[in-house]
Copies of this chain bind each other. A is one copy, B any other.
Amino acid sequence: MQNQKVAEGEHVLLYLDQRRTYLVKVEAGKVLHTHKGFIKLDDLIGKEYGSTVTSNLNVQFTILKPLLHDYIMKSVRRTQIMYPKDIALIIVFSGIGPGSRVVEAGTGTGALTTALAHFVRPNGRVYSYEIRKEFLETAERNIKRAGLADFVELKNKDITVGIDETDVDAVVLDMATPWLVVPHAYKALKPCGTLVSFSPTIDQTVKTVEALKANGFIDIETLECLVRGMQTERGKTRPQTLMTAHTGYITFARKALKIAATETSQGNNDDF
């Protein structure tokens, strides 16, 4: 067993209850203010992960090592709509894994980027396109905080103009006009590579599916995912009262090879 004690400079998750957790960098001399009193971060240094620390109001917080899920949740902004449930389906259904090379757009605040980087380690890479500079700065901070900067290349570029990379395993799109990227994604992907697109509206989804069909993709599937929490307690068990009704539709597709013109009669291969 190693690396079990909190060291200065590490990020920890202070857990009060299911709704109140604090992702904080342990810096000597600093203080965390909460509704339940303040905690001197000096008190954390040298403590074991999983143990507790006490605020000046005598409330106990458990010191947890942040997991991927925590980094994702703390990177999600109100205005964003891709939730961990969607990120989970995207990663497991797309075939991404250690060693994968993945193109992503847009970066946003980096929640999906963080998850992708986590899973392509140690020898894969995420190329993340974003046109809005202010988002790139936030995303960079979030990715660094999760210790994943080595696996990400942030690119301040418009992906609807083109993709620099080739032979990638997957292209993952969470942007307003994914259908404009489909032809570029076809060129960037390996044969059998996966394209994933996430869109809040039906209309975006239909346009994207049409572009996929027109550009040599097969195995096209769209789905939505609903997650409902349960309040589990003997004698009182019941689902939660409110839930997220919709984040977006996720479309998956795979690149097939287009039949070369020489195999067909007329030889017009302009669109290949």
Contact = CB atoms under 8 A, between A and B. Distances in A.
Interface string A187-228: 000111010000011110110011000000011111111111
Nearest to A64: B192
**Copies of this chain in its oligomeric complex:** 4
A46 interface: no
A84 interface: yes
A255 B50 contact: yes
A232 B245 contact: no
A49 interface: yes
Tell me the interface secondary structure of chain A in the complex. Answer: mixed
A119 B116 CA distance: 12
A85 interface: yes
Contacts of A220: 18, 232
B225 A229 contact: no
Given A67-B94, A98-B122, A230 B224 contact: yes
B227 A89 contact: yes
Contact of A237 (B1, B202, B221): B202
Given A18-B221, A69-B92, A206-B233, 12 more contacts: A18-B219, A51-B259, A67-B95, A84-B93, A98-B119, A201-B236, A202-B202, A223-B228, A223-B230, A232-B249, A240-B246, A242-B245
Interface of A: 1, 4, 15, 18, 48-52, 62, 64-65, 67-69, 84-85, 87-89, 91-95, 97-99, 115, 118-119, 121-123, 166-167, 190-192, 194, 200-203, 205-206, 209-210, 218-230, 232-246, 249, 251, 254-257, 259
